[in-house]
Structure 1
Amino acid sequence: MPQVETNNSPDTKRATLFSHTGFAYFPLAIVARLPFAMVVVGVLTLIVSSRGSVEIGGLGSAMVGLGSAIVGPLIGAAADRFGQRPTLLVSAAANSAALGLLAWAAYADISVWWVFAAAFCVGASVPQVSPMSRSRLVTIITSRLPADRAPRTLSTTLAYESTADEIVFVFGPVVVGVLATVLGAWAPVAGAAVLTLVFVVAFALHRTAVPARTRAERAATLAPAGDLLRPTLLVTVLGIFGVGLVFGTVLTSLTAFMQARGEAEAAGVLYGVMGLGSAIFALSVALFSTRFTLRYRWLVFSACIVAGATVLSQAETVGWVIAGLALTGIGIGPLLVTIYGFGAARSPEGRSATVMTMLGSAIMLGQSLAAGVTGAVAESQGVAAAQFLPLCAAGLTLATGIANWALTRTTAEAR
């Protein structure tokens, strides 16, 4: 939670973030982004259960990521033009309908291509709660708080938002696993639809929703679109794409591993082992010394992921799988916080919502594509081959960390 003062005086000099948002905003924003974290895994679980194929399930998840990657940034642009409230309300309604359509199509006696089409619609309509939450808070801090307290509040808030994203994204699959185990494979998709209708709508209607900006305001505050193609920003997007690949390869290979033992629905619960360590170490980032800079963190924690993935690639028992997941979790949480921190620092003026949407779409695309490839490998080459893929994904996170080190070697971004 952002560590800001709790004085709620309306006086501008004593204004705080809480006085403008209300305390309830923060839990609301966390729950509202949970469906986003449940979608890829929920679709994978649903299709594997209904169609009996890890390969088809992985391809369905890949379609979710493809839809999000193509349409997600356009949803962010629509929020800038038309305002967050109408954009989120339309997106929430469309996403709930798409989830319902997918749940029906998965069990219906129809071609699998219709299932893939429904999965694409699910990804394309996912409400972009996380980047819009950042946009709201940044707008409040920079325009309504005293100049002497704004920088520190902004830094703390962005760190909190990154940690909240990471925790939700890791524990989303755990929720999916619990619902699938207790109620059935259809439950996670239905649950995501209900959460979207209730909490995303509530988030859209919250008083903090950023209104549309006029053409003149956009022209005065937007950096050129070409600034989004700077190498330092692109390596950040590629790095978080690699984290998405880790998520997708680990979860799908774990699903194949457990399916071979007749317990595919339990994969999401076992995945929580990685989530526990990830959440603990993500929250501990605030305690790190300033001398342990973001550049070093990227290298150190991606190396932890490589170590964990190495264990997973050789695991033959549930015990060794748990050990590999735990070690991977130590690196995943802090690395996500680190990359989001770079993303916030490198966002061109007026483009922070776009950058955050790019990062969110990249991680979902990575997870989805990895699920598709890993599922196909598990079907054609076996579980052992699928278990090697997380190591390849982990290698990409380390490679982008090295590239980031080189790119920021002599700039102020080498913090």
Structure 2
Amino acid sequence: MTHASAPPQITEPSPSLLRLAGFPYFLIAFIARLPFAMMVVGVLTVVVSARGSLSLGGLTSAAVGLGTACFGPLLGAAADRFGQRVVLVVLALANGAMLLLFTFVVYGEAADGFVLLAAVGIGATAPQVAPLSRSRLVTIIADRMPEARRAKTVSGTMAYESAADETVFVFGPFLVGILASAFAPWAPLVGAAVLTVVFVGAFALHPSGRHVSQDRDADGRAPSAVSELFRPQLLIVVLGILGVGIFFGTMLTSLTSFMADRGAPEQAGLLYGVMGVGSAVLALGVAWLPPSFSMRARWLIFAGILLAGTLLLGFVDSPGTMMLALAIMGIGIGPTLVTQYSFGAARSPRGRSATVMTMLGSGVVVGQSIGAAVAGEIAENVGTSAALLLPMIAAFIAFGAGVANWALSSERRTRSSVTA
């Protein structure tokens, strides 16, 4: 007797994140970041042109960063509480209006104090597209992907998001220069207002905006208590990313001073791009690192490379040697930032992922603002050599936080938290 054999079962592979979110999502989320990248430089450009004061321009740019840093985590908490869609729609309209209002104020007869107040309003209403995109994608991964693929997908997602941020922050100032040169100094802010309303609005209304974490609603559990946001394992990540932000601010400012001493301050951006390109490429490469290369080890090693690159700043004496130091720093900074965001995603309390991501994003902004302000004062009053010491201090903060993170985590706990 013969028995009919059962046909082999074909299991379809689980869909990728690109398929789950859709390609239009990534395109919209990328363009929606541009206005934020244009704001600080656009504000500086229009204030210097309209008011003729470089000092006021610098203060105004810092005011934008201050508004973002103070209100960013609150907006993240609101997104966790009320959902991203309603919060982003309100912010898209409010921020577009604030950009136009600032343009009218700066060209009007209002006192400088009102200009600074309007700048704080721009930062306070800035849509937190980058951290909210991270939160949204991590939620999709946790809810709709098999557990075995989550850790690698989260790592790859953080790598892409960091590379996207760096690309936008290179292209944003470039777009400001084009619009200001082709039309008028106010054009970048008007352009940013249009992009905010259109693309941040599209980002808010994208179907993924309705996606809610299973941890929050499926079993009826409420989000974790606010006190969970102040655990040492999470605060050390905030400290580490603050060090990265300080590095960004001090490095660009001291590099500008370095090139100004050689009569070519306008070339500082070109040299800075050497670090930015390498950082973006290496950030994307983190997704292909083997699982045996643990996250806490990545933080230490890549932050160590960053620290080693900054130590070379004590010996640079030409644009060529500066370029070499920046290239080494680029190897370390991108993967360090990706790893920190990955730790933030892994350690986010239930229902608080948007809050954590905006905390980390605000840490970068605060550090960058503090670093730029301090480095500018030291470069002007003490000298470039003293200013070049500041990136070393910032890199040491990032590395020291990595050492503390090693002590606060274990291999088993780190790996399990990523897939939890």
* 2-structure distance, mates of 1:240, 1:94: 28
Structure 1 residues 255 and 121, CA gap change in structure 2 (3 angstroms) = farther
2:167 to 165, 171, 186: 171
Q: Contact 1:237–1:362 (CA<8 Å) still a contact in 2?
A: yes
For residues 188-237 of structure 1, the C-alpha deviation after alignment (integer angstroms, 9 at most, x for no partner) is: 54543333222211111212213789xx9597131121111110100001
Q: Contact 2:106–2:115 (CA<8 Å) still a contact in 1?
A: yes
Q: CA deviation at 1:103?
A: 4.6
Equivalent residue number for residue 70 of structure 2: 70
Gaps of 5+ in 2: 1-10
The alignment covers a number of residue pairs equal to 399
Equivalent residue number for residue 161 of structure 1: 157
Equivalent residue number for residue 93 of structure 1: 93
Q: TM-score, normalised by structure 1?
A: 0.84
Structure 1 residues 414 and 139, CA gap change in structure 2 (3 angstroms) = closer
* 1-structure distance, mates of 2:141, 2:58: 41
Instruction: Select between 352-361 and 319-328 the one with higher mean Cα deviation.
Output: 319-328
* 2-structure distance, mates of 1:107, 1:311: 44
Equivalent residue number for residue 293 of structure 1: 294
* 1-structure distance, mates of 2:106, 2:325: 32
2:276 pairs with 1:275: yes
Instruction: Select between 366-375 and 225-234 the one with higher mean Cα deviation.
Output: 366-375
Structure 1 residues 114 and 262, CA gap change in structure 2 (3 angstroms) = farther
2:337 pairs with 1:336: yes
The residue matched to 1:222 in structure 2 has which SS?
coil
* 2-structure distance, mates of 1:55, 1:388: 24
For residues 342-376 of structure 1, the C-alpha deviation after alignment (integer angstroms, 9 at most, x for no partner) is: 11111111111111111111111111121222222
Specify the code of the residue in structure 2 equivalent to 1:206. Answer: H
Instruction: Select between 27-36 and 70-79 the one with higher mean Cα deviation.
Output: 27-36
Q: Contact 1:45–1:265 (CA<8 Å) still a contact in 2?
A: no
Gaps of 5+ in 1: 1-10
* 1-structure distance, mates of 2:187, 2:329: 28
* 2-structure distance, mates of 1:106, 1:261: 33
2:125 pairs with 1:125: yes
The residue matched to 2:224 in structure 1 has which SS?
coil
Specify the code of the residue in structure 2 equivalent to 1:114. Answer: F
Equivalent residue number for residue 380 of structure 1: 381
Superposed, which structure 2 residues align to 1:141-290 within 5 Å?
Answer: 141-143=141-143, 145=144, 149-182=145-178, 183-184=180-181, 189-210=189-210, 217=217, 220-260=221-261, 263-290=264-291
* 1-structure distance, mates of 2:294, 2:13: 33
Superposed, which structure 2 residues align to 1:107-122 within 5 Å?
Answer: 111-122=111-122
2:310 pairs with 1:309: yes
Specify the code of the residue in structure 2 equivalent to 1:150. Answer: P
For residues 58-99 of structure 1, the C-alpha deviation after alignment (integer angstroms, 9 at most, x for no partner) is: 443332232122211221222233332221122122222333
* 1-structure distance, mates of 2:222, 2:380: 50
* 2-structure distance, mates of 1:106, 1:160: 42
For residues 232-257 of structure 1, the C-alpha deviation after alignment (integer angstroms, 9 at most, x for no partner) is: 10000110111111111112222333
Structure 1 residues 191 and 380, CA gap change in structure 2 (3 angstroms) = farther
Equivalent residue number for residue 7 of structure 2: none
Calculate percent identity across the aligned residue pairs.
49
For residues 273-295 of structure 1, the C-alpha deviation after alignment (integer angstroms, 9 at most, x for no partner) is: 11110011111112222222111
The residue matched to 2:203 in structure 1 has which SS?
helix
Larger Rg: 2
Q: Contact 2:254–2:388 (CA<8 Å) still a contact in 1?
A: yes
* 1-structure distance, mates of 2:280, 2:101: 33
* 1-structure distance, mates of 2:122, 2:225: 31
Structure 1 residues 14 and 252, CA gap change in structure 2 (3 angstroms) = closer
Q: Contact 2:275–2:330 (CA<8 Å) still a contact in 1?
A: yes
Instruction: Select between 39-48 and 272-281 the one with higher mean Cα deviation.
Output: 39-48
Q: CA deviation at 1:181?
A: 4.7
* 1-structure distance, mates of 2:27, 2:338: 19
Q: CA deviation at 1:333?
A: 0.6
Structure 1 residues 286 and 130, CA gap change in structure 2 (3 angstroms) = same
Structure 1 residues 103 and 323, CA gap change in structure 2 (3 angstroms) = farther
